[in-house]
Chains A and B, each alone.
Chain A
Amino acid sequence: MWSLKKSVWVFHVNTGACNNCDIEIVDCLTPKFDIERLGIKLVGSPRHADALLVTGGVTAQAAPRLREVYRQTPKPCIVFAIGACACDKGIFTTGYHMVGPVDKIIKEVDPNAIIAYVPGCPPKPEAIISGVLKALAVL
């Protein structure tokens, strides 16, 4: 766990978000915020990931894919639910195609999963960075 906390490799999963959280996540990589200076790196495969950044309230079509992505990550894996939708489906709560939120789907695969929540619509890049660092501090 201590090595994981030094340099977290994250994989980004969109499960039916409006894009905003996703853009703010990518924004974290660009010069103004530059999370790579904190050792956090975005990777292209869940098999390389120490953490999942999950956005969106999980649609019926995305749910099986989210379970599969979580299964493919090496454990321990921290799941970050980024944004209001990922935390509790947000404004889309009453949608007929929504089966989330994220923690419900992840706990179906692994009841003991580590899940951290970053609320906001969308959370600012500062909030995402602060959320990730706070979660790492308590682990």
Chain B
Amino acid sequence: MNQQELNNKLSQIKAQLISIEQTADNRIYLSCEARNAYAVNKFLFEDVPLRFVIATGIDSDDCFEVIYHYAYDEIGCIINLKVFIRDRENPQLESIAPFLPAAEWIEREIHDLLGIDFKNHPNMRRLILADDWPQGVYPMRKEMDAKIARGWTCETSSRPAPESPARRTVPLGKPILPVGPFHPLQEEMEFFQLTTDGEIVTDIDMRISYNHRGIEKISESLQFDQVPYLVSRICGICSASHPTAYVNAVEEIAGVTPPDRARYVRTIICELERIHSHLLWVGLAGHFIGYDTVFMWAWKYREPVLDLLEEITGNRNNYGNVKVGGCREDIPDEIVPKMLKDLDEVEKKTEMLTKAVLDDPVLHARLKGVGTLSKEDAIRYAVTGPTARGSGIAIDVRRDDPYAAYADLDWNVIVQEQGDVFAKAVVRLLETLESVKMTKEAVQKLPKGPIAIEVKEIPPGEGCGHGEAPRGETFHYVRSDGGNRPIRHKVRAPSFVNVPSFRASCIGQHIADVTITLAAVDPCYSCTERLAVVDAHGNIVRDYEMLLQASRDKTAQMQKELGWPGLKLEDLQIG
């Protein structure tokens, strides 16, 4: 379907819309009243069909707005549906979660932050705010601005917290397995509550909020040039992708294109980030199934990548290298030969790791058919990145809606059909090799010229920027009123849609497979997390060490059954 056919399709629902506006080749803004929102959303998701990205709640002066963002990946088009809720006293909207599970979390978030009530929502409990956050206080409403500026915190508030628990209650007699809340390597700290029947997981519930820092609100108090430093600290490992997506959005509002050299520098930083992030994941995945050698080696091989990043940007993480209109630091020509040499070395090591994984009969037995996310579920949960590509959905923002210099480079999108943990591991490993190839090409092609142009003013308007982070699509929506600060800045990190897909991939799994299934979408687990199995009376019967041991024992058992002697140092080439 090309742009024309998409427009024709959208005009079928013209009667229910207030306006259809096309601001650029691949950005379409629709708007409608609250009463039509359900029907229009259903049409967009089921009949066009579009991929759900996220929704943004905005407190405008006279009404509340909810913007549903959709993507049509075939032509890289973003379709935004603005819904106006005129009743400020009692804001209500029909929930779209019954037919679109991907929207469940964001509707709960908008309810927490803006106080919009979603009718017929299957699971309307608190999601993003703390258990003891006072009831009826909505931090994203404009009336809170002055209070927060005067030093209001939830601790000084006199209003009571709600009585209803944020966690789901489980019927007595069903064993539950709480996982969390401390997971040092996650983007978002999470608490999982698994209901189990013997060794089989029968239900999973999640609680987030531990890591909610209110970044979208802080962003409204910063100037356009300061925001990249804030968004690079959303997640340490995605500290190149978030600012890149943000500046894509702001540059769309300002109508500027960064110079060629800046586009290449951005690409190089983003790809180096992907290499070290994927290697980090391979190491942790190895750790979970008892291959600590893989853990230590993969982390050793990512060190040269961090050193390169430090040499270019001055920091191993949190690069802060992207700014509106270009880049802050250039890649000095004299380090290019060293970069190429180091990348060759990284490529060799990654190839060795990839071979070791693909040729290992135990890993095949241990990871194939485990934690499968079917293509249908992947679409319903709107997952992105390697999680989607492992389930046979060939989407990649770098190819579909190219930004930076991706359109100039020669590379492939890696897709696997099976949807299990093994498929996701293969996607990540092969992607790392593609990234190394891409980085080398970009370094060799690096054009001469300035790395930034001056952008004096950001005009009023709105823009969407997205980029492919190591974990999937990161999406930023920015609205400007012509001042020097964004009046609304919405961020959707990839894990926000990838994590809820656990409901589809974990249920029916063995407890011993859960750690690796949860880790397969790369929410970054580490060995120091606190985790315990609690029986119906609340007694701890298994702790994290025992679960890890269960996972490792399963691997050892399979090694025995396969008559496999175990990993020997001589089998690996030591460079």
Contact = CB atoms under 8 A, between A and B. Distances in A.
B213 A19 contact: no
B237 interface: yes
A59 B210 contact: yes
B415 to A, nearest CB: 28
Contacts of A121: 233, 315, 318
B527 interface: yes
Interface stretch (A22-30, A73-81, A111-119, A130-138): A22-30
Interface string B481-520: 0000000000000000000000000000000000000000
A16 B218 contact: no
Given A14-B182, A24-B317, A97-B129, A65 B300 contact: no
Contacts of A55: 184
A44 B548 CA distance: 11
Contacts of B184: 12-14, 22, 25-26, 55
Contacts of A64: 132
Contacts of B155: 60, 99
A45 B229 CA distance: 34
Contacts of A15: 210
A139 interface: no
Contacts of A42: 527-528
A97 B527 contact: no
Interface string A32-75: 10000000001111000000000111011110110001000000
Nearest to A120: B315
Interface string B136-180: 000100001000100011110000000000000000000000000
A16 B6 CA distance: 42
B316 A96 contact: no
A131 B412 CA distance: 44
Contacts of B280: 23
A108 B317 CA distance: 32
B230 interface: yes
Contacts of A11: 528
Nearest to B207: A61
A92 B213 contact: yes
B303 A94 contact: no
A18 interface: yes
Contact of A99 (B154, B218, B234): B154
B560 to A, nearest CB: 27
Contacts of A60: 129-130, 132-133, 153-155
Contacts of B189: 14, 16, 62
A5 B144 CA distance: 48
Nearest to A89: B213
A27 B132 CA distance: 34
B524 to A, nearest CB: 7
B148 A94 contact: yes
A22 B526 contact: yes
A121 B529 CA distance: 22
Interface in B167-217: 181-187, 189, 209-215, 217
Give the bracket for the number of chain B residues in contact with chain A.
35 or more
Nearest to B147: A96
B317 A61 contact: no
A8 B526 CA distance: 20
A13 B527 CA distance: 12
B87 interface: no
Contacts of A45: 530, 543
Contacts of A95: 213-215, 217-218
B358 interface: no
B131 interface: yes
Contacts of B214: 92, 95-98
B210 A19 contact: no
Contacts of B45: none
Nearest to B310: A124
B368 to A, nearest CB: 28
A14 B182 CA distance: 6
B235 interface: yes
B43 interface: no
Contacts of A98: 153, 213-214
B21 interface: no
A66 B527 CA distance: 18
A101 interface: no
A46 to B, nearest CB: 8
Contact of B318 (A14, A65, A122): A122
B544 interface: yes
B526 A26 contact: yes
B130 to A, nearest CB: 4
Nearest to A124: B316
B91 interface: no
Contacts of A30: 283, 295-296, 299-300
A44 B530 CA distance: 7
B545 interface: yes
B299 A61 contact: no
A17 to B, nearest CB: 8
Given A16-B210, A20-B236, A124-B316, A44 B186 contact: no
Contacts of A16: 189, 210-213
A62 B524 contact: no
A16, A45, A96 — which one has the most chain B CB atoms within 10 A of its CB?
A96
Shortest 4 CB-CB distances between A and B: which pairs?
A: A20-B236, A19-B236, A60-B130, A30-B299
9 contacts: A13-B184, A18-B236, A19-B236, A24-B317, A32-B300, A55-B184, A60-B132, A98-B214, A99-B153
